[in-house]
Structure 1
Amino acid sequence: MRRIASIGSIAGAAMLLLASSSLVVQGVTDELNPDAAWYASRYGVSDVEAGRRLGLQAVAGELDAKLTALDVDWYGGLWLEHEPDFKVVVFTTRGTSGPIRDEARELGLEGLVEVRAVAFSYADLEAESEKLRGLALESDSLVSIDVPANKVLVLTASPHEFARLAEIRGVRLSPAVTIRESNRQVVLSTNIYAGLTLYSGGIPECTSGYSIRKNSTGELGITTASHCKNALTFGAVNLTFRESAQWGSYDSQWHTVGSHTVRNWATDGIPGGSTPGYRIITSKTTRANQALNAVACRYGFASLYACGNLISKTVLCELLPSPNSTCMWLSNGSTDDLASPGDSGGPVYSGGSAWGIIHACLSFFEDGCLNPSLNHDLIYIAENYVEAAHGLTILTSAP
């Protein structure tokens, strides 16, 4: 029977709640985040509270990046909790709270940060994950860091066979590794601003990604996933293929757009307001600044608008040549379909901030990703890898 393995929280973890003080949130404005309605419905809070929390999760991403940059051996990662209360949970191997408290105070997060003790640092988990990448490719398994469980999680069709393969290859499975049975599939979701339907030969092929500027030439264009066809059209206009990158952490291509006008917009299908059916992209959030369990939303022409939680930032990009463990896993427990064929290349965002583009569908059903009636998880490429692959800048203002 095909099933998805649940990801639990840490049992019996030591907890230290940082002292409460006045809350001054950096980067949070009075303007309501367009994803607030989804968040409010999912977590049972008001739209205003939902907007506040979505702003806070961006600040939490900054905290994660700052603590990671300290390059210390005690940092165990960061995870957002949304219920029963909103918390920023920081894990540490030493019960260390001083540096965490200092960084939280600087960002205005005091009173929201909870410190929990764990056995393994995030660097330890990254090292263990890297040791397993060859086994993952050989056995068609998914390897990811499960921060709240403080484990490297392996999802595989046969845990026994995975362990046997590790023994044959001389790879020691440490106590930091948990292996769970799961017959999952990762399938490319192949099918002029972000979120529009791109055609090839008159047939819907993929979804457009973010509008960009080529740094070296100033040319304007549009992105999508590299595994989509290169000969693409939009609105009866042939898009001019410029460059493709499909290896390591990259799955993107870009095109100039002929007579089209490039806008820093992204489709969301949300009616009403001053931007009906789309939102304006005004910022970017790098992989390092995307907090785990943060809510992000996405749009693809096949499965339209949906939101989920960022479960992992360290999934092996197994469909790419020479893959790196930098792919992002978005899930909402099969509440909505997050990826179907044709969604590839579409935008992943939080409010007006670009987070990445859709790379693949992650399915835990027997029929797999090709069955559009089922709800699947999403794998995406972080926005900074789209920019780095081609020397581009994602537009955050009118060109």
Structure 2
Amino acid sequence: MRVSSILLPLLLAASPAGAADPVRLSPAEALDRDAGLYATAFAVPADEARRRLEQQRASVQVSDMLRLRYRDRLASISVVHRPDWHLLVRLTAGERPADQLLEANGLAIPVRFEVGAPVTRAQALRLLDSERYRLPTLVPGYRGAGVDPRSGGLIVMQRPGADARPVADVEQALAAAVGLPVRIRRLDALLVDSAAIGGGRVDGPNPDGRRFRCTTGFVVKAPDGALGITTAAHCPDTLTWRGTDGEERLLPMLGAWGAAQNDVQIHGGVGPAEPLVFSNTGKTEVRPVTSWATRPMTRPGDWLCLRGESSGYACSEVELTDFAPAGDLCGGLCTSSWVTMRGPQCRRGDSGAPIFLGSVAYGVLKGGAYLPDGSCAFSYYQSVDYLPDGWRVATVR
């Protein structure tokens, strides 16, 4: 796993004479890059892809309004891409509202409704949090669980071969035990933090003497105005920044938070850092960070991107916004506050990688679920609204 991402300010401040600076994209150009990958993924023209991503960003205010309007019945709000782009609102039993065409920032936001969800999202979250201690004892080969936006129940990850019962029998027994519909996803994948051995853009020593590589995330600001850079808390405490021009700089750790809902540490020594993110695999382009989005602002189906040292630049859809990884990956049991993204890209070495859309920061990568061939089944990240108290993502002025 290589590591990189945002210590670009160090690169710009200390590049030797004659070294080529990366191209600085405008916020509009950054969104165009993400729209290019969207157009390929969903087989739509480039202008349609750009329009849909503008709808996605604008529709956050529509989601907030719908969340309040239907808070007593709301099971989920998802972004749907096929056969056309729209928001899908799932509600518990009762009258089905008429589909709507709302407006946000001058854009039309189609909204469609489904009814019949067994419980609200709030109720499902409470149940998941109360049952996450028991689920590993009920599900052989348990690999984590989340609130299923499709059914309003739970989606439970299970290792194939760990349970001889048919999937339908497991779902029925588990539904009876927890009192909610359950969808079993059998996945021959190992959930691990995205760290790996070897040198890279940011690396440091492990207690056993080996070197680990990680990816830097976002420039952050302390209450007193001091600047730092994020990476994952399971990365080494002492890290060395390695610029594309060969520069090395020691980054002292200012603090680490690695339990429950957190996997982030903050390093100082970044110099006159600017809120920039490497924007492509080859690190020839950078994008500014102009704002950030919270977990409540994130919906299943949202199209988001990352820039990791091993995976490079890649985009995919959000799958779950309420996921609790299995085991002790969070210094003990994890909360259900993690957000998952579908594959194909996540590799060891991407730990701490920035998650973004256009110039908006969303989160920092924790880890992934890796199939036997080493490919990525899904990744999961910590939303930026779980940064330590007082710290916030730095943005351009």
Name the TM tier (shorter chain).
Answer: 0.7 to 0.9
* Contact 1:221/1:255 (<8 A) preserved: yes
Tell me the C-alpha RMSD between the 2 structures: 3.1
The yes-or-no answer on 1:308 pairing with 2:319 is no
* Pairwise CA distance, 1:392: 0.7
Residue in 2 aligned with 1:382? 383
Q: Give distance in 1, aligned partners of 2:56 and 2:234.
A: 31
Superposed CA offset, 1:117-145 (max 9, x none):
23322223223322431134555332112
Find the partner of 1:205 among 213, 216, 233: 213
Counterpart of 1:124 in 2: which secondary structure?
helix
* Pairwise CA distance, 1:375: 3.4
* Contact 2:281/2:307 (<8 A) preserved: no
* Contact 1:95/1:115 (<8 A) preserved: no
Residue in 2 aligned with 1:151? 153
Q: Give distance in 2, aligned partners of 1:380 and 1:244.
A: 16
Identical-pair percentage: 22
* Contact 1:159/1:181 (<8 A) preserved: no
CA 1:109–1:269: 2 relative to 1, 3 Å: closer
Superposed CA offset, 1:312-352 (max 9, x none):
011114410342101010004xxx3x211110001000111
Residue in 1 aligned with 2:359? 352
Residue in 1 aligned with 2:245? none
The yes-or-no answer on 1:264 pairing with 2:279 is no
Which aligned pairs between 1:1-399 and structure 2 lie closer than 5 A?
32-69=31-68, 72-93=71-92, 94-97=94-97, 104-105=102-103, 112-120=110-118, 121-138=120-137, 140-157=142-159, 158=162, 172-191=177-196, 197-201=201-205, 203=211, 205-215=213-223, 217-235=224-242, 236-258=248-270, 260-269=271-280, 276-318=284-326, 319-320=329-330, 321-332=332-343, 336=344, 338-363=345-370, 365-367=371-373, 371=374, 374-386=375-387, 389-397=388-396
* Contact 1:317/1:326 (<8 A) preserved: no
* Contact 1:315/1:325 (<8 A) preserved: yes
TM-score by length of 2: 0.78
Q: Give distance in 2, aligned partners of 1:135 and 1:171.
A: 14
CA 1:339–1:111: 2 relative to 1, 3 Å: closer
* Contact 1:245/1:390 (<8 A) preserved: no
CA 1:231–1:207: 2 relative to 1, 3 Å: same
* Contact 2:321/2:337 (<8 A) preserved: yes
Q: Give distance in 2, aligned partners of 1:185 and 1:85.
A: 34
Structure 2 residue identity aligned to 1:115: F
Superposed CA offset, 1:270-298 (max 9, x none):
67xxx942211111011000121111011
* Corresponding residue pairs, total: 347
Structure 1 residue identity aligned to 2:379: L
Q: Give distance in 2, aligned partners of 1:135 and 1:393.
A: 35
Greater length-normalized contact order (CA 8 Å, ≥ 6 residues apart): 2
Superposed CA offset, 1:355-374 (max 9, x none):
100101112x235xxx3xx2
* Pairwise CA distance, 1:261: 3.0
Q: Give distance in 2, aligned partners of 1:132 and 1:109.
A: 41
Q: Give distance in 1, aligned partners of 2:301 and 2:214.
A: 27
CA 1:314–1:160: 2 relative to 1, 3 Å: farther
Q: Give distance in 1, aligned partners of 2:188 and 2:360.
A: 34
* Contact 2:154/2:180 (<8 A) preserved: no
Q: Give distance in 2, aligned partners of 1:31 and 1:269.
A: 10
* Pairwise CA distance, 1:69: 4.2
Structure 1 residue identity aligned to 2:260: G
* Contact 2:59/2:109 (<8 A) preserved: no
Q: Give distance in 1, aligned partners of 2:61 and 2:104.
A: 11
* Contact 2:351/2:366 (<8 A) preserved: yes
TM-score by length of 1: 0.78
Q: Give distance in 1, aligned partners of 2:176 and 2:89.
A: 30
**Which ranges of structure 1 fall in alignment gaps of 5 or more residues?**
1-27
* Contact 1:76/1:92 (<8 A) preserved: yes
* Pairwise CA distance, 1:101: 5.2
* Pairwise CA distance, 1:96: 4.5
* Contact 1:197/1:204 (<8 A) preserved: no
* Pairwise CA distance, 1:35: 0.2
Superposed CA offset, 1:48-104 (max 9, x none):
211111121123333333433457321121111112211111112223537x959x4
Counterpart of 1:141 in 2: which secondary structure?
strand
Q: Give distance in 2, aligned partners of 1:137 and 1:107.
A: 45
* Pairwise CA distance, 1:241: 1.0
* Pairwise CA distance, 1:151: 2.8
* Contact 1:243/1:390 (<8 A) preserved: no
